[in-house]
Structure 1
Amino acid sequence: MTPQQHRMTRMASVVTLAVLHMAGAWAQEAPTAASQEKEKNSLNLNTVIVTGTPTGTSKMKASVAISSLDADQIAQSSPTNAAEILRAVPGVRAESSGGEGNANLTVRGVPISAGGARYVQFQEDGLPVLLFGDIAFATPDMYIRADGSLSHLEVVRGGSSSTLATNAPGGIINFITKNGKEKGGSIGITKGLDFDQTRFDFDYGAALSPKTRMFVAGYYRQGDSSRPAGVTAEDGGQIRGNITHDLDNGYIRLSFKHLDDKTPMNMPVPVKTVNGTISELPGIDPRTASFYSPYWTRDIVLDKNNQKIATNVNDGLHVQSNAFGAEASFRLGDGWTLDEKFRKSTNTGRFISLFPADSANNSTGMTYATGPNAGKAYTGPAFTATVFNTSLDDLGSTTNDARISKAFDFGQGKLSATAGYFTSIQNVALTWNFNQYLMQATGDKPALLNSAATVSGSPGLLAQGTNVWGGCCNRAIDAQYKTNALYANLGWEQGDWNVDGSARNDKQSASGTYNQAVNQAYSQANTKFINYTVNHTSYSFGVNYRLNKDLALFARTSEGIAFNADRIMFGNPLDGSVPISTNIVKQHEAGVKWKSGDFSSFVTMFQAKTSESNFEATTQKFSANTYDAKGLEIEASYKIGAFRMTGGLTYTNASIANAADASIIGKTPRRQAKYVYQISPTYTMGDAVFGASLIGTTKSFGDDANTITLPGFNVLNAFVNYQLTDRLQASVGINNLLNTIGYTEVEGDGHAARSINGRTIRATLKYSF
């Protein structure tokens, strides 16, 4: 049985299990329309949130800016991956143009200097997916899939995230899983109407006994993706579940997750940039271009043991994750509560994508190296395609977070105290390999080309491994980061006042090795050793005052740290002989929360000052900069009858305050727009719900020198849901309805840029039971 057949068989068995559960539900009473209707304010200001707070509190009482999105709100933005969900959250800048992972993400003007999410922690059920958010070629969103297991999302910007999580001074994004409290489930099928994709989803929750319940969910998909490549670019799925036993004084929960998914990675494509203005090249549509193709040969790479391995370029991003978790909460008596979270994860895979190393130019003397025209002369444009081929050898982790809390009577009020201890072992083991090929400059099933520069006997190959980019990027990394953090929070509540302060001491010990190959081989003599310890104490203080039950003011000041991992390798020694670079964020914020009838709003003013060190793989440059960002963040909602509207606006005025390159001081940081906004209306008409979302950004600059402009753009998404019966629903969702080109990044010399995907249309049939 092939690996693909094995995956299909495994996922088919899961779907069969769901169908059997569904068959047993036919005799159940159908839910009424009244029971399904949720009369609630869409900002949920009185809802208790658990992210970024020590013991859980309502938004109206918390002195942090936090957004929560349920499944219905998430569906409004028609997301195609986990990072796209975050486009709907004010204050969050999510560049999700890369596909099912490798997203660039930050909050409130904190910089995206080289990719990933350095200052924001992605969590599942309160524990980090990866401890570092900006590992080159391995970002945490690669290991997150939003499916029927998602209960809701909580997003904290700034505030107490500095002290209640490690490596999260910018914020926390917490994907919270269903746990079987809502009985029943669903099974559905989704088809791409204008592209090749078929996806099956299911979820099911049930009581196993009066005090024990279970939940399981998953998906399987297969297809050519929204950027057709002529190959099976998508293939895989996920299954996850949990079992909860309620106790008289708390609960115990065990959980598991299995992810095995293959998806394409979308990189920048060749463009033309003149006087800072980007334009498209003939034959390469940045919305749909794919350099995956049936005409690829095997990419021969070097592993860290100097063995040659043949890889399939069309595998794209192939991630595998297996996780086991345990969670418990106990009320110990006399006001004491103990909360415990544990997770053990194995995360592996391979990242293969194609990056254009130069512009697409016409040349002579070329022939087709692969495809139906192999051997024939080629006279069109061609470019050098660098294959980013990175083995994700080991990104596994073991994480534990235990906290104890107690509420005391204190004068006329209440004093709550929380102490916690966080431990993590995060492995960072990767093997890089960059080969370069001559490729036909088209976004539709390109072929490899031969020229006088082609390596003999290797179709299309121009340079291999250590002959690429000055030999920079054949790298073997095998590191481990042990983190211990002691944190504490004191909160005082009296009448309309809530005051809290927290501190966190993170101590991180790094060990391991890294090596750079020379002459197509790794040598023990070139091994560099990692052996250092860094620590930092972060703090956060906040106050919230409720003028009345519908109006509250808050303010907070915080400082937090983001530790570096691979981004500082291959520069200064990491053996403890010189100081280790870290990244510090200092923030101040103040805001107001207000409800009036069916209108609610959350308005926050903020300032963020960031000092960081960085390395960028595509430019091979190190930097040490400081940034200053000030702005305003608005989140609001309104409901009148069958019409609902949510929206957000973020204004950011950011600048580079200091840098080794004096010419960029005072400039606007790359990819930072003045305004980012979201508007999402829905209207219910009988059994139909119509909705749309408009997500927009004003112009920004593609480089720190502010010489290349990324134009502003709007993305319009739309959907309609129709309840065919009490249990059967049909829906159609359109992402990027107007087929907009929206550039999210550009190379410093302007030869390549990455756009959001073009228009895609999906139809879903879902049966609930």
Structure 2
Amino acid sequence: MPTPLRRLPHRHPLALAVSWALLPTTVAWAQAAPSTVPAAVAASAAPADAAPAPAETTPDAGLDLGRIVVTGATTARSKMKQSVSVSTVDSEQVQNSTAASAVEVLRAVPGLRAESSGGEGNANLGVRGLPMSDGGGRYVQLQEDGLPVLLVGDVSFATADQFVRADYTLDSIDVVRGGSASTLSTNSPGAIVNFIGKTGKVPGGAVGMSLGLDHRQQRIDFQHGGKLGDKLYYQFGGFYRLGEGTRHTDVTTENGGQFRASLTKELDDRGSYVRVSLKQLKDNTPTYLPVPVQLDGNTIKQLPGIDPRNAFFINSHFPTDVVVGADGHSVTTHPGDGLGVNVSAFGVETQLKPGDGWTVTDRFRKSVINGRFIGLFPAGSQPADYTGSTPVFSAHIFNTSLDDMGNVFNDLRVQKELKLGDEHRLTLTGGLFSGIQNVAQTWYWNRYNVGLTGDGAALYDNAGNPSTEPVGDATTTWGGCCFRSIDVRLTAVAPYAALTWERGPLSLDASVRQDRQRGTGSQRFGDAASGGSWNPDRTTAVHYTADATSYSVGGNYEFGKSLAAFTRFSHGASWKSPDRVIWDERVATGVDPYPVNEVDQFEGGIKFRQSGLNAFVTLFNARTKEGAGFEVTTQTVKKDSYTSQGLEAELAWRLGDFKVAGGATWTHAEIDSGPNKGHTPRRQADWVYQISPSYSFGSLEVGGAIIGTTKSYAQNDNQVVLPGFSVVNLFANYELTPELLLSAGVNNVFDQLGYTEAEGQNNLGNNPLYIARAVNGRSAKLSLRYTF
């Protein structure tokens, strides 16, 4: 992640570039000054590296309110002029969040809840009180350079963040909450999170190495970009790592890396260009799932020997897990491989500006995606047929083959700007998004007895003898529910249109989108009756269609260079992933309508800036109506309506060498229907906050971040409380030379125990166990980076 330690005129611009991914527990520095245009424009609604709208020059304290952004908008304007709530993950936010994954950095964005305690993937994302009724990010779309990573954000065992990595090639992240996100992308009424890559317009390179100080991990990052010839630019880079992650084990659970490259040719001086991009990601990382805990009344307590901050039940005691593949044959897998992802992507981005106010932009990307999700899920207390003396719990191994999660997306946009007079113009936009998303997975979950003695993944048979074999196969796990193969192709077509009217300090805009989706394919189940393979009598042909209309209307008024206000109303829609819905055969076959989730939002806010102080404050109100969906871990169907209202605030203050950035979100959310009517939605805290101070002493900069939340409830019944907690991170950076930077950082300095989710008891049938997932315990890293 880029951004400068401080402005040093004698240094090459890239001497300040450091990727937060190289040192997840410290800080990332930028290659470009605040409020620069290319990072925001390069991969958004009107991406252009050449001849962009000029960035504003009013002094900025850290929120980059003068930065030109077009993510989630149709015209390239500064944050002060946009009628949406938009944040940029820049140096201040990355530094103070000390993120350990691509999504964890989003904890610094007000209004966005990033539960990234699952490791490099499998994160849960919520926004503005919209419900986290299932895993993933149902109302949040993750993008890379303006196109979706996945069409849907809540696919079981394949959330979009699993296929995104942050390294030296990442330039910035734009986050648009609410607003026109409903109409300018699919499945994103809550937010768009756009990861924007470098393009080579700023020449130079960097290489760095990092080392875990209290855990086994080594990583190397690199990047280089520059000019090849007349108006021709290149960029390439990536990373490779090897280790075990922050939770100790005796097997290598981290092994892999990423390579990205792009080539950009400017076609004229008006901003026309063609860009070709490549991405290859092959990575294995540990999967951190909930661990056993106990309840004291409605309070979560640790079990002896099981520390939720570092417990991990996969090691050399658990060498293999034999499953059945989609072809019906046995497959030997290795639990230590954890979350394995393979992504090969090719993209072409073209922008043409023939003149007379016309702009034509097309973005295309094809991604081949597959992998495997392996994680151990505690599913019950000691089995009734267990006769051993060593205490155990019953665990299901979530062993899911991601047979095909590939996709093809294209977004074509045509825009015409009409100048109606001095400071008076009308911009008309028409576009067509189309895409294909494959959701092909094979589930086969064996059952094991795992020791409750704090000795890692010690496995036992039903007589209490050490073993490496399961005590039950997928035909018996949870009643055989999840011996399952899904192969569904989603086809999406979405025409959209927008207009923006500007006159002096006032701008008004409106947009509409018509989403049409079709699902075709099959769903199969296996059972003991078919000899432990797929049962042809339990096969369903999937064929359904669904559509929805979204619209948004907003306006912004600048009272001066230092103050602006906006307001907006939006209606948006999203679809649950088919794996969560086609359990219902009537829906799978199109007899009953496919459930569509609808969100209505009203928001209004102010933006204020002076040389030493920035503020961006937004009031919001959201109403959500969800369609029915099945959650595997609780074995329940969830279908409710919700209301939320609140306030999100971003603030930044700078005084000489001291700077501080912070944010807070207050949310009052309520369930409006069903047996839990009037309750607070699960895992929704009243307050979430972040504060990140830092100070420079010449060549040394030190700082920290406090990220906290008040209490919330584990489930919608509001019985079990997840206590409030705050995590403190610290970092220090020292310039050995202008080109050589030494960095050290500690994540969760005080080893705080903080629960992000919990479930259990009656939800898990006749053998109850309570489980919870917590943030990782304390970890420290050291990094050395050289820029050239």
TM-score, normalised with respect to structure 1: 0.92
Preserved contact between residue 43 and residue 68 of structure 1 (Cα < 8 Å): yes
**Contact preservation (8 Å) 1:453, 1:462:** no
Match of 1:582 in 2: 596
1:637 and 2:652 matched: yes
Q: SS at 2:651's partner residue?
A: strand
The Cα of 1:237 is off from its aligned counterpart by: 0.4
Moved more, 440-449 or 695-704: 440-449
Q: How far off its partner does 1:30 sit?
A: 9.3
User: Counterparts of 1:262-411 in structure 2 under 5 Å?
Assistant: 262-359=284-381, 365-366=387-388, 379-410=389-420
Q: SS at the partner of 1:141?
A: helix
3-state SS, counterpart of residue 74 of structure 1: helix
Deviations 1:219-251, CA, capped at 9 Å, x for gaps: 000011100111001000001010111111411
Comparing 240-249 with 318-327, greater Cα deviation is found at 240-249
1:428 matched to 2:439? The reply is yes
The alpha-carbon deviation at position 333 of structure 1 amounts to 1.2
Q: State the match for 1:692 in structure 2.
A: 704
> Could you tell me how far apart the structure 2 residues matched to 1:297 and 1:724 are?
44
In the alignment, structure 1 residue 746 sits paired with structure 2 residue 758: yes
Q: 1:495 to 1:739 in 2, by over 3 A?
A: same
- Given candidates 235, 241, 257, the residue that maps to 1:215 is 235
Q: 2:748 aligns with which of 719, 727, 736?
A: 736
Alignment CA distance shift 1:591-1:29 (3 Å) = closer
CA RMSD of aligned residues (A): 1.9
CA distance in 1, matches of 2:629, 2:538: 23
**Change over 3 Å in CA distance of 1:195–1:462 after alignment to 2:** same
Aligned mates of 2:71, 2:462 — CA distance in 1: 57
Question: In the aligned structure 2, how far is the partner of 1:263 from the partner of 1:509?
Answer: 33
1:621 is aligned to 2:640: no
Structure 1 counterpart of 2:102, one-letter code = A
Q: Which residue of 2 aligns with 1:479?
A: 488
- The amino acid across from 2:783 in the alignment is T
Give 1:129's aligned residue: 149
Cα distance change on mapping 1:83 and 1:317 into 2, 3 Å: same
Comparing 313-322 and 615-624, the one that deviates more: 615-624
**Corresponding letter in the other structure for 2:98:** S
Give the C-alpha shift of residue 37 in structure 1. Answer: 7.5
What amino acid maps onto 2:329 in structure 1? Q
Contact 1:408–1:415 (Cα < 8 Å) also in 2? yes
Distance 1:451 1:269, change over 3 A: same
CA deviation string 1:236-274 (max 9, x = no partner)? 000101011111141110000000000000000000012
Q: In structure 1, what is the equivalent of residue 185 of structure 2?
A: 165
* Structure 1 residues 708 and 35: CA distance shift in structure 2, 3 A: closer
Describe the SS at the equivalent of 1:304.
coil
2:373 and 2:134 map into 1 onto residues whose CA distance is 17
**Is the alpha carbon distance of 1:293 and 1:593 closer, same or farther for their aligned partners in structure 2, counting shifts above 3 Å?**
same
**Contact kept? 2:643, 2:670, Cα under 8 Å:** yes
SS of residue matched to 1:466: coil
| In structure 2, C-alpha distance between the alignment counterparts of 1:381 and 1:501, rounded to whole Å | 62
**Cα shift at 1:615:** 1.2
User: Once the two structures are aligned, what percentage of the paired residues are identical?
Assistant: 46
CA offset at residue 394 of structure 1? 0.2
Aligned to 2:584: 571
1:92-146: CA deviations, max 9, x gaps?
0000000010000010000101110010000000000001100000000000001
Deviations 1:633-657 (A, max 9, x none): 1111010100111100100000000
Unaligned runs of 5+ in 2: 1-10, 17-29, 35-58, 762-768
CA contact 2:61–2:611 (8 Å) conserved in 1:
no
Q: Is the 8 A contact 2:14 2:205 kept in 1?
A: no
Written as runs of structure 1 = structure 2, the 5 A alignment for 1:181-260 is 181-248=201-268, 249=270, 250-260=272-282
The answer (yes or no) to whether the contact 1:516–1:526 under 8 Å persists in 2 is yes
Read off the aligned partner of 1:503 and give its amino acid letter: V
Write out per-residue CA displacement over residues 45-67 of structure 1, whole angstroms, 9 at most, x where no aligned residue: 11101210113211000010000
Q: 1:555-605, CA deviations, whole angstroms, 9 ceiling, x for partnerless residues?
A: 000011111222101124221111111111110001111112310100000
2:73 alignment partner, one of 42, 53, 78: 53
**Counterpart secondary structure, 2:729:** strand
Q: Aligned equivalents of 1:196 and 1:685: distance in 2?
A: 31
Secondary structure at 1:356's aligned position in 2? strand
Shift, 1:619, TM fit: 1.8
The CA distance in 1 between the partners of 2:454 and 2:360, in whole Å, is 56
Q: For the residues of structure 1 that align with 2:293 and 2:413, how far apart are their CA atoms?
A: 52
In 2, Cα distance between equivalents of 1:198 and 1:644: 31
Using a 3 Å threshold, how does the CA distance of structure 1 residues 535 and 676 change in structure 2: closer, same or farther? same
State the SS of the aligned residue for 2:639.
strand
Partner in structure 2 of residue 22 of structure 1: none
Contact preservation (8 Å) 2:317, 2:468: no
Rate the CA distance shift 1:322–1:71 in 2: closer, same or farther, 3 A: farther
Partner Cα distance (2:173, 2:293) in 1: 36
By how many angstroms is 1:35 displaced?
10
In the other structure, the counterpart of 1:758 is: 777
2:117 maps to which of 84, 88, 97: 97
Structure 1: unaligned runs, 5 residues or longer? 1-27, 367-378
Could you say which residue in structure 2 is the equivalent of 1:14? Answer: none
Check the 8 A contact 1:363/1:381 in 2, yes or no: no
Amino acid at match of 1:317: L
Given the superposition, is the C-alpha separation of residues 719 and 335 from structure 1 closer, same or farther in structure 2, using an over 3 Å criterion? same
Kept in 2, the 8 Å contact 1:55–1:405? The answer is: no
- Contact residue 647 and residue 665 of structure 2 kept, 8 A: yes
The residue number in structure 1 matching 2:42 is none
Secondary structure of the residue that 2:166 maps to in structure 1? coil
Structure 2 residue aligned with 1:63: 83
1:197-224 C-alpha deviation (Å, 9 max, x unpaired):
0000001112101311101110000011
Q: How many residues align?
A: 725
- 2:595, 2:189 → 1: CA distance? 16
Q: Distance in 1 between the 2:32 and 2:352 partners?
A: 32
Displacement of 1:400 after TM fit?
0.3
| Residue in structure 1 matching 2:509, options 500, 518, 526 | 500
* 1:657 matched residue in structure 2: 672
- Paired with 2:285 and 2:339, the residues of 1 have a C-alpha distance of 5
- The structure-2 alpha-carbon separation of the partners of 1:572 and 1:609, relative to structure 1 and needing over 3 Å to count, comes to farther
Separation (CA, whole Å) in 1 of partners of 2:322 and 2:712? 39
**Contact 1:294/1:445 (CA < 8 Å) preserved in 2?**
no
Q: Secondary structure at the match of 1:240?
A: strand
1:518 aligned to 2:531? no
Which residue of the partner structure matches residue 499 of structure 2?
490
How much has 1:36 moved relative to structure 2? 8.3
With the length of structure 2 as denominator, give the TM-score of the two structures: 0.90
For the 8 Å contact 2:318–2:468, the answer to whether it is kept is no
Find the counterpart in structure 1 of residue 786 from structure 2. Answer: 767
Distance across 1 between alignment mates of 2:181 and 2:336: 39
Change (3 A) 1:453 1:559: farther
Letter in 1 for 2:222: F
Cα distance in 2 between the residues matched to 1:72 and 1:36: 13
* Alignment partners' CA distance in 1, 2:193 and 2:297: 38
